[in-house]
């Protein structure tokens, strides 16, 4: 996913190529960020800017502020004190950091191997391997955890019935397997986009100078990929420490901050303690995010300034190809095996125990609350998807084209939706929008979630979906706008078009591909997310992921598999429709060359 290639410096008029032992050609470019900073804001654009800032405050700033206020209560202060005095609390923090670092390193490494195989190796089944690697993105991760337990647990079909083994998957090993396999596609798509944009002529030049393929990789290719690798690690770290469903399903006695916060609120009914645990969870996520932004802005590497040229020289050594493909093929086989289990599990009574074919699980899913959960989840995701996509594009447009000062601050605020762990955001919404006449402790808007909520909490869920998904469109939009000459916007403005009209009729059609990326990510994420919304769902708004977790907790794996299969099908259908609709729209052609 190219939107994760986050940071590019825009402080210089010239983009200088950093020497990595190979001579290159430096080309002079106009800096779109510098040029756009001179644009005067018309009245409508100023309104859009202030309205966008108000939305960011409503969607992310107030919830985070309310978490801090709630955590300052007595039981919350006790949690903070326990960080220095309780070995149990300290172990929970260590477990969380260990899980995040392990999943981040393994997931990024696997994603890199998949990307390298796609761009530097020639083999049969490359397209199939790519499709298989994306399957975890469109399904709830804890469905993967449930299938892993059935296949490889103490009473697993493969481990006990075929191999006679009784491994213990609950705890740290199971969490690492499930989270790594579920989240590595994000790193894969990010690194894949970067590797495809590298200029092969650099590799050719290094080879001509006598460098071996390994030395070319270490000295030329890898330095170019470090920003994308760092971004991938960031996202996987945050996603893994924030994940809630998998620690509840397969975590066992390996307690992490997200599950402890959930237990504090839903088990101990202590909201202040839950908020305090979420604050502790927020700290490492934000620290990693800030460090990555600072480091990436200081270390900018550009391979080319125009269209990549040259031809990629694939790896020819059979032994090297076998070694490089071993991990991708093994992981792909595991993914296929798991999702076959998910599909088959919905059509048998009890997979591995009573394999009699039945339709009772789907009958349950399509009746009563199950049918309502399918309808409302899809409806809310369909509402949130265009909101998140357009909101991300507007943020990108304001950041790249319209803001003179505070550009970095606004970019940071927009990215908080993905930098803040989902569990933290969910608790923030629960304590913010669960009071009848005030916005948490600040007193601004009416209740949006909880008993008697507006639209049964649906509005709060849409808000969470929007702020969690808009960073995808923001990143892809910024990347796309940086490739478009600002003179196009300036020409429209000189003809009397307002900033909003220019954005709607000229800019938006030109960044249609970035919009497509944002829309597809937003829908898939909205349909499969759980951690941010589990605290704000109500009986009036049953959500599919919440229902799947309830079925797993009750040991009704067949129902959970049926729900998961339907969810995957719905996501695939919607992504296909979005792709056809956006790609079918007319677009503008660029005839103005970039200087």
- Kindly report, residue by residue over 159-176, the tens digit of the pLDDT: 888 888 878 888 999 999
Confidence of residue 345 (pLDDT cuts 50, 70, 90): very high
Residue 35 to residue 219: CA distance in whole angstroms: 34
Asked if 161 and 588 count as a contact pair (C-beta separation under 8 A), the reply is no
Identify the helix (H) or strand (E) that includes residue 558: helix 557-583
> C-alpha angle with apex 584: 580 to 585, nearest 5 degrees?
130
CA-closest candidate to residue 186, choices 4, 431, 13? 4
- Return the domain boundaries, the chain: 83-256+297-345
Question: Regarding predicted confidence, which is higher, 475 or 303?
Answer: 475
CA-closest candidate to residue 23, choices 207, 199, 202, 198? 202
Asked if 101 and 172 count as a contact pair (C-beta separation under 8 A), the reply is no
What pLDDT, on the 0 to 100 scale, is given for residue 528? 87
Residue 449 to residue 433: CA distance in whole angstroms: 6
What pLDDT, on the 0 to 100 scale, is given for residue 205? 67
Averaged over 260-284, what is the pLDDT?
Answer: 90
Residues near 43 by Cβ (< 8 Å), separated by ≥ 6? none
Tell me the CA end-to-end span of the chain in Å, nearest whole number: 28
Q: Long-range contacts made by residues 537-540, C-beta under 8 angstroms, separation at least 24?
A: 537/457, 537/461, 538/449, 538/450, 538/451, 538/453, 538/456, 538/457, 539/456, 540/453, 540/455, 540/456, 540/457, 540/458
User: Running DSSP on this structure, what letter comes out for residue 152?
Assistant: H
Secondary structure class of 489 (helix, strand, coil): helix
What pLDDT, on the 0 to 100 scale, is given for residue 361? 92
Averaged over 116-124, what is the pLDDT?
Answer: 88
Residue 173 to residue 171: CA distance in whole angstroms: 6
Confidence of residue 343 (pLDDT cuts 50, 70, 90): very high
What pLDDT, on the 0 to 100 scale, is given for residue 212? 67
CA-closest candidate to residue 478, choices 20, 181, 36? 36
Residues near 4 by Cβ (< 8 Å), separated by ≥ 6? 186, 189, 190, 228, 231, 232, 235, 475
Give the tens place of pLDDT for each residue, 538-568. 777 888 988 888 888 888 889 999 999 999 9
Confidence of residue 101 (pLDDT cuts 50, 70, 90): very high
> C-alpha angle with apex 415: 198 to 221, nearest 5 degrees?
15
What pLDDT, on the 0 to 100 scale, is given for residue 452? 40
CA-closest candidate to residue 251, choices 104, 98, 59? 98
Give the tens place of pLDDT for each residue, 310-328. 566 677 778 888 898 999 9
Give the tens place of pLDDT for each residue, 213-234. 667 777 777 777 777 788 788 8
Cβ of 298: how many Cβ atoms within 10 Å?
Answer: 9
Secondary structure class of 357 (helix, strand, coil): strand
pLDDT at 402 over 80: no
What pLDDT, on the 0 to 100 scale, is given for residue 113? 93
What pLDDT, on the 0 to 100 scale, is given for residue 592? 31
User: Running DSSP on this structure, what letter comes out for residue 306?
Assistant: S
What pLDDT, on the 0 to 100 scale, is given for residue 216? 72
What pLDDT, on the 0 to 100 scale, is given for residue 104? 92
Asked if 464 and 425 count as a contact pair (C-beta separation under 8 A), the reply is yes
pLDDT at 38 over 50: no
Asked if 183 and 145 count as a contact pair (C-beta separation under 8 A), the reply is no
The distance from CA 227 to its chain's CA centroid, rounded to whole angstroms, is: 17
pLDDT at 302 over 60: no
pLDDT at 24 over 60: no
Percentage of the chain modeled with pLDDT above 70: 77
Secondary structure class of 456 (helix, strand, coil): helix
Averaged over 276-292, what is the pLDDT?
Answer: 84
Cβ of 579: how many Cβ atoms within 10 Å?
Answer: 13
Averaged over 567-580, what is the pLDDT?
Answer: 84
444-453 burial, b for 16+ CB within 10 Å, e for fewer? Answer: ebebbbbeeb
What pLDDT, on the 0 to 100 scale, is given for residue 297? 61
What pLDDT, on the 0 to 100 scale, is given for residue 167? 82
Give the tens place of pLDDT for each residue, 183-204. 999 889 888 877 777 766 666 6
Averaged over 295-310, what is the pLDDT?
Answer: 52
Question: Regarding predicted confidence, which is higher, 488 or 177?
Answer: 177
Residue 439 to residue 88: CA distance in whole angstroms: 34
CATH superfamily, with its number, for domain 83-256+297-345: MetI-like (1.10.3720.10)
Question: Regarding predicted confidence, which is higher, 280 or 141?
Answer: 280
What pLDDT, on the 0 to 100 scale, is given for residue 154? 83
Confidence of residue 392 (pLDDT cuts 50, 70, 90): confident
Give the tens place of pLDDT for each residue, 482-534. 767 677 766 766 776 666 677 777 777 777 766 776 778 788 888 888 888 88
pLDDT at 110 over 90: yes
β-strand 354-357 against 348-350: which pairing, if any?
antiparallel
What does pTM read for this prediction?
A: 0.78
Residue 530 to residue 534: CA distance in whole angstroms: 6
Asked if 325 and 121 count as a contact pair (C-beta separation under 8 A), the reply is yes
What pLDDT, on the 0 to 100 scale, is given for residue 409? 85
What pLDDT, on the 0 to 100 scale, is given for residue 37? 41
The dihedrals phi and psi of 166, each to the nearest 5 degrees, come to -135, 65
Averaged over 99-107, what is the pLDDT?
Answer: 94
pLDDT at 86 over 70: yes
What pLDDT, on the 0 to 100 scale, is given for residue 276? 93
Confidence of residue 40 (pLDDT cuts 50, 70, 90): low
Residue 361 to residue 503: CA distance in whole angstroms: 48
The distance from CA 133 to its chain's CA centroid, rounded to whole angstroms, is: 15
CA-closest candidate to residue 244, choices 256, 254, 259? 259
């Amino acid at each position: 996913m190219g939107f994760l290639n986050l940071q590019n410096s825009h402080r210089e008029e010239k983009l200088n190529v950093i020497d990595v032992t190979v001579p290159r050609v430096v080309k002079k470019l106009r800096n779109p960020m510098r040029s756009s900073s001179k644009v005067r804001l018309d009245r409508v654009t100023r309104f859009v800017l202030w309205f966008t800032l108000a939305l960011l405050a409503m969607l992310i700033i107030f919830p985070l502020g309310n978490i801090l206020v709630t955590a300052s209560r007595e039981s919350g202060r006790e949690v903070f004190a326990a960080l220095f005095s309780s070995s149990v609390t300290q172990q929970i923090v260590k477990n969380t950091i260990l899980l995040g670092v392990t999943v981040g390193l393994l997931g990024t490494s696997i994603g890199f191997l998949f990307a390298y195989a796609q761009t530097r190796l020639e083999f049969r089944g490359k397209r199939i391997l790519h499709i298989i690697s994306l399957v975890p993105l469109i399904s709830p991760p804890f469905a993967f955890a449930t299938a892993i337990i059935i296949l490889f647990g103490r009473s697993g079909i493969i481990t006990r019935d075929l191999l006679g083994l009784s491994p213990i998957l609950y705890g740290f090993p199971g969490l690492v397997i499930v989270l790594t396999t579920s989240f590595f596609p994000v790193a894969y798509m990010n690194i894949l986009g970067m590797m495809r944009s590298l200029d092969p002529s650099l590799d050719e030049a290094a080879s001509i100078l006598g460098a071996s393929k390994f030395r070319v990789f270490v000295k030329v290719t890898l330095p170019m990929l470090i920003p994308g690798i760092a971004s991938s690690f960031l996202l996987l770290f945050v996603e893994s420490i924030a994940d809630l469903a998998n620690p509840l399903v397969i975590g066992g006695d390996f307690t992490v901050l997200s599950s402890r916060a959930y237990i504090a609120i839903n088990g101990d009914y202590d909201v202040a303690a839950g908020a305090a645990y979420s604050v502790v969870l927020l700290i490492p996520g934000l620290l990693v995010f800030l460090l990555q932004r600072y480091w990436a802005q200081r270390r900018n590497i550009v391979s080319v300034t125009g269209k990549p040229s040259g031809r990629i020289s694939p790896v020819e050594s059979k032994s090297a190809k076998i070694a490089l493909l071993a991990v991708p093929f093994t992981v792909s086989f595991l993914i296929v095996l798991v999702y076959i289990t998910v599909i088959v599990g919905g059509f048998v009574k009890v997979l591995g125990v009573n394999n009699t074919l039945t339709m009772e699980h789907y009958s349950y899913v399509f009746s009563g609350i199950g049918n309502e959960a399918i309808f409302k989840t899809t409806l809310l995701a369909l509402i949130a998807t265009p909101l998140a996509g357009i909101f991300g594009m507007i943020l990108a447009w304001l950041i790249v084209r319209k803001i003179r000062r505070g550009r970095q601050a606004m970019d940071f605020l927009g990215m908080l939706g993905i930098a803040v762990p989902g569990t933290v955001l969910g608790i923030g919404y629960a304590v913010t929008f669960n009071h009848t006449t005030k916005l948490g402790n600040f007193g601004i808007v009416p209740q949006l979630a909880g008993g008697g909520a507006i639209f049964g909490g649906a509005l709060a869920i849409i808000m969470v979906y929007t702020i969690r998904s808009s960073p995808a469109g923001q990143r892809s939009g910024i990347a796309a706008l940086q490739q478009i000459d600002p003179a196009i916007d300036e020409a429209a403005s000189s003809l009397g078009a307002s900033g909003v009209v220019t954005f709607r009729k000229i800019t938006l059609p030109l960044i249609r591909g970035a919009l497509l990326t944002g829309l597809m990510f937003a829908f898939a994420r909205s349909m499969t997310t759980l951690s941010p919304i589990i605290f704000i769902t109500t009986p009036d708004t049953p959500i599919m992921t919440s229902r799947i977790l309830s079925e797993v907790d009750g040991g009704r794996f067949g129902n959970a598999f049926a729900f998961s299969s339907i969810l995957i099908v719905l996501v695939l259908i919607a992504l296909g429709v979005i792709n056809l609709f956006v790609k079918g729209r007319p677009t503008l052609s660029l005839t103005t060359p970039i200087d």
